[in-house]
Structure 1
Amino acid sequence: MKVWLLLSLTILGVLSLSAAEEPTLMTKRGKLLVTQDFSAPLKPFDGISKGFASGFSGWRWNAVPRGGKWAVEDGVFTGRETPEVQHPATASYGFLFKDVIIQCQVRMNNVPMNGRKSRSISIRTVDAKDYVCSIHLNETGFRISKDDNDHGGPDKSVPLGALKTPLKLDEWHTVVFEILGDEMVGTVNGQSLTGSHPLIATDKHSLMFVMATEGSVRNLQVWQAQPNPDWAKNKAALIQPATAAP
């Protein structure tokens, strides 16, 4: 009985640790909207997909050749860029949202490049037609951006901040992505960047993970975001580093 109790407490402790709520700066957590522990195979999405952006709910993955190959393996969702396609692996989770806190852990996997050009991970929000804002990670650091929202049209991506800090391969990095109105905060391993743009305030339809070469995600959670009364003080304490984007 004592052994079983100890085992149960240990399991609960591990689960609590894996789902720990990381500190936030701009927002406070409201209702939990999404939780994905990748403990079971993913179900097909619902709805009629309008490309990668909208019209569906749930996961959309392995839908087109250039989206790479994704698999759920031991509580981890891994995307592998197909070498001959030369396009990062992409997987999207469709749900309607606006102001949110997105938290997950990501890992760039140290596998042979096999002709692929780079190793990186992006976490992107998407509106009814295209990208909205993102956090981008590679081995040299991370950056945040307002994204190109019309693929080939006059709208262009706008860099909002960058930080040079080593992000090792084969190690898990904790990401917290806060969005409230036209502002965003991107935090990686406790280091934060913030920026604003009118497009960020748009209604979003999906969340996308982009893996160049190979990368994994685990412990994904999304909450509704509420204003943090300490944001002005927290924002003033952030020093936007004058470094080139990694």
Structure 2
Amino acid sequence: MKRLLCFLGLLFVAGGELPGAEPQVLLEEKFTAELSKDWFWGLGTWTSKDGVLRGFESGTRRHGPVKMRKLVLKDAVLECDFRLEGKATFAGIIFNGSQERGHIVHLVMGKDAVRILAHPKKGENVELLKQSNVLSTGEWHHVKMEFKGETLTATIDGKTFTASHPCIAEEKQTFGLGGDSGGPEGEKAGALEFRSLKVSG
């Protein structure tokens, strides 16, 4: 009995968790009501209702829709469904450091390709991966992003894409959902939709 207790104690000291422990749910969004204040900034027009977060380009600034949320994490897993509507060309999920640090890493899920972009320092862009991949418009797609140290593994509809860079290991303070919804004509051009968002770590 004493040996068993010593062994369990060593496990907690070494790793903090027993093997097979369930990851902690850090965030789960149902999108059935108005967004909380943790969704603190955005471009375009966004609505959250009936289980779907929907965004499209609007306003004088020519930029695709993006909605940002506060959530501090390092190694973690993010999962959600997304859909391209109308003339939308890609959906993206971007992770940022502090306001001074700026963007860290960006997953771009386009109609014909997947890209992973790293931002080693503010204003710098490095394309870590660009790989052909077809996404149908008007259909739901599932994405799972797993951060582990310097490596990001993204699985889209069961197909896996992996990239590594030292900056990926940095602490992320916010993340954003967005992309290109089809252009300045607004909702008439197209929209981006997200649902069933879950982050665990």
TM-score, normalised on structure 2?
0.79
Q: Does 1:100 align with 2:82?
A: no
User: For residue 126 of structure 1, what is the aligned residue in structure 2?
Assistant: 96
Gaps of at least 5 residues in structure 2 are 1-20, 182-190
Q: Does 1:59 align with 2:39?
A: yes
Distance 1:29 1:150, change over 3 A: farther
CA distances 1:120-167 after superposition (whole Å, capped 9, x unpaired): 11101111131111210111121212136413xxxx211122221210
Contact 1:102 1:178 in 2 (8 A): yes
State the 4+ residue runs in structure 1 displaced beyond 3 angstroms: none
Q: Which amino acid aligns with 2:194?
A: V
User: For residue 35 of structure 1, what is the aligned residue in structure 2?
Assistant: 28
Q: Does 1:180 align with 2:157?
A: no
Contact 1:162 1:193 in 2 (8 A): no
> Deviation of residue 42 (structure 1)?
1.4
Superposition pairs for residues 158-237 of structure 1, below 5 Å? 158-213=126-181, 214-224=191-201
Q: Does 1:139 align with 2:119?
A: no
Q: Which amino acid aligns with 2:54?
A: T
CA distances 1:40-86 after superposition (whole Å, capped 9, x unpaired): 1112x2xxxxxxxxxxxx21245xxxx11111132100111127432
Distance 1:148 1:86, change over 3 A: farther
Contact 2:120 2:167 in 1 (8 A): no
Distance 1:29 1:179, change over 3 A: farther
- CA–CA separation in structure 1 for the residues paired with 2:83 and 2:74: 26
SS of equivalent residue, structure 2 residue 167: helix
Aligned CA RMSD, in angstroms, stands at 1.8
SS of equivalent residue, structure 1 residue 59: coil
Identity, % of aligned positions: 25
- CA–CA separation in structure 1 for the residues paired with 2:67 and 2:138: 20
Gaps of at least 5 residues in structure 1 are 1-27, 46-57, 225-246
- CA–CA separation in structure 2 for the residues paired with 1:149 and 1:69: 29
The number of aligned residues is 170
- CA–CA separation in structure 1 for the residues paired with 2:22 and 2:108: 23
CA distances 1:63-111 after superposition (whole Å, capped 9, x unpaired): xxxx11111132100111127432011101101111110000111111x
TM-score, normalised on structure 1?
0.65
